[in-house]
C-alpha cells in the first residue's frame, strides 16, 4: 500500500506566506505540515495563509494540526494563521472547516484572505538588523528601551533590555551570524525575538559567567527564563532559528499602553 502524498508549495504574496496544499492530510502527513507551518510562522511574515482548496481530508481530527500550530505560536507571535477553504467544496473538509472557523479565520478564496491582512489587530512592531559583534548587544538594548518608552510600557524596559542582551550574546558567542531583532507589543505582551542563521539549539550554560560575559551579557538562558513570562525557540525556513521571550505588563500599567505611534 502506497504512502499518502501531500505536496506543500510555499510562495509569497503581498507580504504574506502562501502555503498551497495538494493531496491527502492524515496522520502520516500532518507532522510534516505542522513543521512547515511552524517554520513559515517563525519567518514572521505579515500572515501565513494555508490554501486548502486542493486538500483531501481523510480523518476530521487531523485538521486540528492548524489549531495546534496557532496555539503554539500565539504566545509569542502576532502573525495570524489564515485558512482558505471554498464553502462549496461539498466534502468532509467543508464541514470541519466551518467548525475550525471558531478558532481560526477561514476565507472562501485567496483574494479575500490576502485582503484581510490589511486590517491587522492593533500591535506595534519594530525590527533591527544586528552584526555578530559584542557591540550589537548595546545597540539592541537601546532600541528596546526606546520602544518601551514610545509604546508606553516603560515598566518592562529594564527586564526586556536584560533579556535582549542575553539573546544577542547567545548569537555572538554561539551562532556567529548576523541577526535580526524583532520587538512586538500587543495586548499587554512584549515579545523580544532574535533570529540568527544557525540551526544550533539554544542550550543552558552551566559555567559561571566570566568578567567579559558580565559586561556584555552571556549569563545564558536562565536569566531569560527568570525574567520572562514564557520563552522558546523555533527553526526558520532558511535553516536558522528564532529565539523569543515574552514579558507581560502588569494589569495596572496596561491602561494606555501601546497607544503611541510605531517606533521609527
Which strand (E) or helix (H) includes residue 65? helix 65-74
Neighbouring C-beta atoms of residue 20, cutoff 10 Å: 18
Which of 191, 185, 195 has the alpha carbon at shortest distance from 234? 195
Mean pLDDT value across the chain: 84
Highest mean pLDDT out of 4-8, 115-119, 122-126, 191-195: 191-195
pLDDT band at 181 (very low <50, low <70, confident <90, very high): very high
Sequence-distant (6+) residues with CB within 8 A of 31 are none
> What percentage of the chain has pLDDT greater than the value 90?
55
The domain ranges of the chain are 6-117, 124-248
pLDDT of residue 48 exceeding 60, the answer is: yes
- In degrees and rounded to multiples of 5, residue 174 shows phi and psi of -120, -40
pLDDT the model gives residue 91: 55
Q: What region does 217 belong to: left with phi over 0, alpha with psi -120 to 50, or beta?
A: left
pLDDT the model gives residue 41: 93
Rounded to an integer, the average pLDDT of 37-42 is: 94
More confident residue, 193 or 97: 193
pLDDT band at 216 (very low <50, low <70, confident <90, very high): very low
pLDDT of residue 13 exceeding 80, the answer is: yes
pTM exceeds 0.95, yes or no: no
pLDDT of residue 259 exceeding 60, the answer is: no
pLDDT the model gives residue 93: 62
pLDDT band at 33 (very low <50, low <70, confident <90, very high): very high
Q: What region does 44 belong to: left with phi over 0, alpha with psi -120 to 50, or beta?
A: left
pLDDT band at 217 (very low <50, low <70, confident <90, very high): very low
- Out of 2-11, 188-197, 206-215, least confident range: 206-215
**Location of C-alpha cell 521571550:** 245
Residue 28 to residue 57: CA distance in whole angstroms: 12
Residue 263 to residue 150: CA distance in whole angstroms: 7
More confident residue, 166 or 87: 166
Fold match, 6-117 / 124-248: no
pLDDT band at 94 (very low <50, low <70, confident <90, very high): low
**Model confidence pLDDT, tens digit, residues 145-167:** 999 998 989 999 999 999 999 99
CATH architecture classification, 124-248: 2-Layer Sandwich (3.30)
CATH architecture classification, 6-117: 2-Layer Sandwich (3.30)
> What percentage of the chain has pLDDT greater than the value 70?
80
Amino acid at each position: 500500500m502506497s504512502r499518502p502524498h501531500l505536496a506543500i508549495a510555499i510562495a509569497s504574496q503581498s507580504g504574506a506566506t502562501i502555503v498551497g496544499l495538494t493531496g491527502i492530510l492524515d496522520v502520516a502527513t500532518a507532522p510534516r505540515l505542522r513543521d512547515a507551518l511552524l517554520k513559515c510562522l517563525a519567518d514572521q511574515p505579515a500572515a501565513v495563509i494555508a490554501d486548502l482548496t486542493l486538500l483531501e481530508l481523510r480523518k476530521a481530527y487531523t485538521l486540528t494540526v492548524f489549531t495546534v500550530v496557532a496555539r503554539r505560536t500565539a504566545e509569542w507571535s502576532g502573525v495570524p494563521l489564515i485558512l482558505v477553504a471554498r464553502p462549496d467544496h461539498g466534502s468532509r473538509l467543508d464541514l470541519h472547516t466551518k467548525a475550525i472557523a471558531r478558532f481560526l479565520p477561514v476565507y472562501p478564496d485567496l483574494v479575500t484572505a490576502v485582503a484581510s491582512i490589511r486590517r491587522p489587530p492593533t500591535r506595534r512592531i519594530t525590527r533591527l538588523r544586528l552584526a555578530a559583534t559584542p557591540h550589537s548587544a548595546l545597540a539592541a538594548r537601546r532600541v528596546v528601551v526606546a520602544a518601551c518608552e514610545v509604546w508606553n510600557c516603560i515598566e518592562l524596559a529594564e527586564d526586556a533590555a536584560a533579556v535582549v542582551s542575553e539573546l544577542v550574546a547567545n548569537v555572538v558567542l554561539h551562532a556567529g551570524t548576523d541577526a535580526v531583532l524583532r520587538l512586538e507589543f500587543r495586548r499587554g505582551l512584549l515579545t523580544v525575538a532574535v533570529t540568527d542563521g544557525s540551526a544550533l539549539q539554544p542550550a543552558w550554560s552551566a559555567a559561571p559567567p566570566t568578567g567579559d560575559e558580565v559586561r556584555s551579557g552571556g549569563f545564558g538562558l536562565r536569566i531569560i527564563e527568570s525574567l520572562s513570562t514564557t520563552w522558546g525557540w523555533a527553526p526558520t525556513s532558511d535553516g536558522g532559528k528564532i529565539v523569543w521571550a515574552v514579558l507581560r505588563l502588569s494589569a495596572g500599567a496596561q491602561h494606555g499602553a501601546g497607544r503611541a505611534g510605531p517606533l521609527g
